[in-house]
Structure 1
Amino acid sequence: MTTLSSGVAPAINTMRLCFYGAGSMAEAIVRGLLDRGLTEPGRIGMMNRQNAERMNELSSRYGIVGALSEGEKESMLREADIIFLAMKPKDAAEAIKRVRDLLRPEQMIVSLIAGMTIATLESLLGKPLPIVRTMPNTSSTIGLGATGISFSAAVSEGQRRLADTLFQAVGLTAIVEEPMIEVVTGISGSGPAYFYYMMEAMIDAGTKLGLSAEAARELTLQTILGAAHMVKATGEDPADLRRKVTSPNGSTQAAIEKFDEFRFKEAVFGAVSRCAERAMEMGAEIERKAKE
């Protein structure tokens, strides 16, 4: 068993990792860790409530250890150095209450559960454990994720570094104070869906105006990819890049004016705000269930 309380982050490949929940986000993190060679498949355990087919699929694909029986699940939880809570928010409170007596103070808990606060998780666990609250996004699946991270008071400096390393395996990380995690949810947690929605609209517009579906799709994909790379490669502010391609009284300006007519920036602000608000509502529901 690896000691996690020192100021120096231990090597991930010396630890046993347990994922309680085997959805797409848990799989993305597992894939990132293995692709970067940070650990071996045999040191990763995964479990879910009852989907044996999913566990067999993941075991076959990555070589990880899938727990199927209750005994196997209990052993995996007891022996883990790091436990990733990756169950659905609606199932979280009940699931954590069911296993909390198996956990030890020296284990590090990493929560992927949207809306669940550190205080609620501490209450559910019923004992002092170092807790890392995270908000990754689905682009983690291809190593281009963006993850917000915050820590409970019990997390040591070494554990902070360890958590940061874990999520850098699937993209970039931002360490934030916990109240900002909901804002992270509104920006990057749900953010990929906003761009997919924009892409849907652009492809639809292109086909309605006469392009083939294939041409509209490929042009849209390349345009968004190119725009993102331009911002990253040049380091320039997106507003400055936009102004450079917006000639006075030109076609781009005409398009921007149409966006403004429909209050595009207000719509985006409203969407991000509502997303953050909804995450807080989900957290409140989890807290209510935790007190039952």
Structure 2
Amino acid sequence: MNIVCVGAGSMAESMIHGWINKRILSPRNISVMNKSDVERLEFLRDEYGVNIVQKEKTELENADFILLAMKPKDVRAALGGIQEHLSPGTVILSVVAGVSIQTIQKLVGDLPVARAMPNTSAKIGKSATGVAWSKQVTLDQQYELRDLLSSIGSVTVVQESQLDAVTAVAGSGPAFVYYFAEAMTEAGVNSGLSLEDATKLVRHTIAGAADMLQQADFKELRKKVTSPNGTTAAGIASLEKNDFKRIIGECIEQASSRSQALGREFE
């Protein structure tokens, strides 16, 4: 299996790392290209042993998968630059937010296209990734896509119409957790802890809770920690008083709406 990464940023690097680390692909089967940053391409070549796409772009012609990993505003130019080199059976795997399968096919023709939304935890092999694909993607290609994406974390197959919600919950989700961690740390300091101690306590509390989330229902876990009239109950009461669930709901809604808007802006 040969893959060409069009775009060479942090997401492409995370995926390359996962593919090589899980032995899904050999470095010799991965090629990278971008618009102009030669130093970045040379770094990836030296760090992982992958290939840089040459001027003739024959790597594109031999590719089974093309990974699109750039900003939405750069998609049109990127696809325009590679379209004539694509083979009929090549699968386009896009991790670009907001750009639809239909739009990509308008630019490259009736090729099989998949859209995935990983998150930055791909760097440590723990991304929560949602993926949707066009009807042209064969069953074998679907299995290969699952293998590629599972090398960076968990994979959930969804309808394309659900990808905006995936973007909000999983794509942006890590940042929301980090923001919550910031707030907990600041509150700990305001309550008398040193910054070092508060940071350590928050970091390990969230890590431990994350492990527990894999083992039981979320609500049941919360109830087990919440003794009647205890400290946790007092804190939960404050969250309820300040409409915490509404705030989170609005956060997800706004992120999802922005994903939709990105698609409209591109088209």
Report which stretch shifted further, 86-95 or 180-189: 86-95
Determine whether 1:55 maps to 2:41: yes
Which residue in the other structure is 2:8 paired with?
Answer: 22
Of all paired residues, the percent bearing the same amino acid is 39
Aligned with 1:197: secondary structure? helix
Aligned with 1:192: secondary structure? helix
Deviation at 1:92, TM superposition (A): 1.0
Which residue in the other structure is 2:110 paired with?
Answer: 128
- 8 Å contact from structure 2 (residues 24, 147) kept in 1: no
Determine whether 1:84 maps to 2:67: yes
Which residue in the other structure is 2:178 paired with?
Answer: 196
Distance (whole Å) between structure 1 residues aligned to residue 212 and residue 2 of structure 2 = 40
Distance (whole Å) between structure 2 residues aligned to residue 262 and residue 46 of structure 1 = 48
Quick one: which amino acid aligns to residue 259 of structure 1? L
Choose between structure 1 and 2 for higher RCO, CA contacts under 8 A separated by at least 6 residues.
Answer: 1
Determine whether 1:219 maps to 2:201: yes
Structure 2 length as normaliser, TM-score?
A: 0.97
Deviation at 1:35, TM superposition (A): 0.5
Distance (whole Å) between structure 1 residues aligned to residue 52 and residue 187 of structure 2 = 46
Determine whether 1:242 maps to 2:222: yes
Quick one: which amino acid aligns to residue 214 of structure 1? E
Distance (whole Å) between structure 1 residues aligned to residue 24 and residue 85 of structure 2 = 27
Distance (whole Å) between structure 1 residues aligned to residue 81 and residue 241 of structure 2 = 53
Distance (whole Å) between structure 2 residues aligned to residue 271 and residue 124 of structure 1 = 33
- 8 Å contact from structure 2 (residues 62, 87) kept in 1: no
Which residue in the other structure is 2:259 paired with?
Answer: 279
Deviation at 1:265, TM superposition (A): 0.5
Distance (whole Å) between structure 2 residues aligned to residue 188 and residue 208 of structure 1 = 30
Determine whether 1:46 maps to 2:32: yes
Distance (whole Å) between structure 1 residues aligned to residue 191 and residue 33 of structure 2 = 49
Aligned with 2:211: secondary structure? helix
Deviation at 1:105, TM superposition (A): 1.1
Distance (whole Å) between structure 1 residues aligned to residue 241 and residue 83 of structure 2 = 53
Aligned length: 267
Distance (whole Å) between structure 1 residues aligned to residue 100 and residue 79 of structure 2 = 14
Distance (whole Å) between structure 1 residues aligned to residue 95 and residue 6 of structure 2 = 10
Deviation at 1:145, TM superposition (A): 0.6
Distance (whole Å) between structure 2 residues aligned to residue 38 and residue 166 of structure 1 = 7
Report matched runs for 1:1-292 at 5 Å.
Answer: 15-67=1-53, 71-72=55-56, 74-125=57-108, 127-232=109-214, 234=215, 236-287=216-267
Deviation at 1:61, TM superposition (A): 0.8
Deviation at 1:78, TM superposition (A): 2.0
RMSD: 1.1
Could you list the runs of 4 or more consecutive aligned residues of structure 1 that deviate by over 2 angstroms after TM superposition? none
Deviation at 1:97, TM superposition (A): 2.2
- 8 Å contact from structure 2 (residues 6, 34) kept in 1: yes
Quick one: which amino acid aligns to residue 269 of structure 1? G
Gaps of 5+ in 2: none
Deviation at 1:76, TM superposition (A): 2.4
Distance (whole Å) between structure 2 residues aligned to residue 133 and residue 123 of structure 1 = 15
Structure 1 length as normaliser, TM-score?
A: 0.89
